């Protein structure tokens, strides 16, 4: 099942499937190590559209809600 990063539950993980956005957005995410094909885990999210904290390659990164809506992850049921 493919969902966006905001729909993931804390401690849920999956494979990053697709990123919607322009070249600047893609470049910013790739510089943080967020690329399609990588395993990503959601650590926490804040109430009312706050930042989403994820873990990728043993590195925790906080991503804004708008950016997280454009990142799609394939999770297993």
pLDDT, one tens digit per residue, over 26-69 is 999 999 999 999 999 999 988 788 899 999 999 999 999 999 99
pTM for the model: 0.90
Locate tokens 């930042």: which residue? 51
* pLDDT at res. 76: 83
* pLDDT at res. 77: 72
Task: Answer positive or negative: Cα dihedral of 16, 35, 59, 32.
Answer: negative
* DSSP E strand stretches across the chain: 2-4, 13-19, 39-45, 52-56, 59-63, 71-74
Domains of the chain, start order: 2-58+66-74 (2.30.30.90)
């Amino acid at each position: 099942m493919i969902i966006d990063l905001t729909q993931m539950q804390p401690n849920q993980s999956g494979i990053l499937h697709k990123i919607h956005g322009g070249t600047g957005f893609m470049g910013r995410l790739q510089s943080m190590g967020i690329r399609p094909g990588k395993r990503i885990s959601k650590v926490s999210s804040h109430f009312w559209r706050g930042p989403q904290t994820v873990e990728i390659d043993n590195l925790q990164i906080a991503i804004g809600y708008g950016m997280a809506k454009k990142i799609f992850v394939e999770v297993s049921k």
